Amino acid sequence: MSPFQLTRTLPEDATEAALRADVLHGLTRMPKELPPKWFYDARGSDLFEEITRLPEYYPTRAEREILLARADGIAAATGARTLVELGSGSSEKTRHLLDALTELESYVPVDVSESALTGAAEALLAEHPELHVHALIADFTRGLALPGTPGPRLVAFLGGTIGNLLPGERAVFLRSVRSLLAPGDALLLGTDLVKDEAVLVAAYDDAAGVTAEFNRNVLAVINRELGADFPLEHFAHVALWNAEEEWIEMRLRAREALTVKIRELDLLVPFEAGEEIRTEVSAKFRQEGVRTELADAGLKLSEWWTDGEGRFALSLSTAV
């Protein structure tokens, strides 16, 4: 068997169709919104990597600290022979787990980007030639069928990405993950924690303006892919803390009244001065809330680890 397999579960035109549907739905409703997944073209991915190195952006460093400290414990607790990573991207953080999971035979990265999957697989196989990598081009938020790989399985969803899902979406997602788990399998979940508002807002509104450029990149994607004429400089980056919902919201605010034409959708989108598009929600969590959401999905939280400053958590849970 080849050490690398790639399975496409999304149709070739699925990304284009999804973008068209999301833009049409999101920009014709009030208030306007766009899903955060459209930040991540090649330029957006590069910008996000830059964000993770900024002094204000603590989540990546905090999660890495936990992984380095707890990887051996995760390996001992799970005995995983298969690691499934949802939204794997470059698989950078996965390396800490791969080094510790001494029983591991298979790695199943799941992402919508074929180029990210193949690039990451090439790098990982150079370091772990004994590993079998079965990559899936798939949207894990729409249900998932995993390839036949040996158990126990460890499903990893890192980076606090679960916070980009609204509560109802999280419930559906966690139930879908639960359906993938057999007895003895586990879920490793990264969650950013509630903390001081100033720390949170700074992480999404850095002094260098990288996050602002990242936020506006969603408009650049729509311009390129759908023939739109968004004037990027006419939209201001906004990051704010919603204390009631306990999440950060990123928005793009029109600096003046204007109308945007989206040629491929035959759509005119008017904006009043000061009108906003919500481009991301990033929920922050507390331990008891995570425990409750997991339990509602049929999962039992068994381990809870935080970094030294209590900013971020990794949790391990198993099927009830």
Instruction: List the CATH number of the domain containing 206.
Output: 3.40.50.150
318 in a structural domain: yes
Burial of residue 6 (number of CB atoms within 10 Å: 0-12, 13-18, 19+): middle
Alpha helices in the chain (DSSP H): 14-27, 42-52, 59-78, 94-100, 114-127, 167-180, 197-203, 210-226, 287-296
Average confidence (pLDDT) over 160-167: 96
Given a contact cutoff of 8 angstroms between Cβ atoms, the answer to whether 28 and 21 are in contact is no
228 in a structural domain: no
Report how far residue 316's alpha carbon sits from residue 4's, in angstroms, rounded to the nearest whole number: 28
268 in a structural domain: no
The three-point CA angle 175-83-66 to 5° equals 90
| 3-class DSSP string for 30-85 | CCEECCHHHHCCHHHHHHHHHHHCCCCCCHHHHHHHHHHHHHHHHHHHHCCCEEEE
150 in a structural domain: yes
276 in a structural domain: no
Residues 126-161: pLDDT tens digits?
Answer: 888 889 999 998 888 887 888 889 999 999 999 999
248 in a structural domain: no
Give pLDDT, residue 2: 65
Pairing of strands 106-111, 132-137: parallel
**Into how many domains does the chain fold?**
1
260 in a structural domain: no
Quick one: pLDDT band at residue 75, thresholds 50, 70, 90? very high
Residues 81-129: pLDDT tens digits?
Answer: 999 999 887 777 788 898 899 999 999 999 877 877 888 888 888 888 8
Q: Which domain holds residue 85?
A: 1-222+285-320
Give pLDDT, residue 1: 54
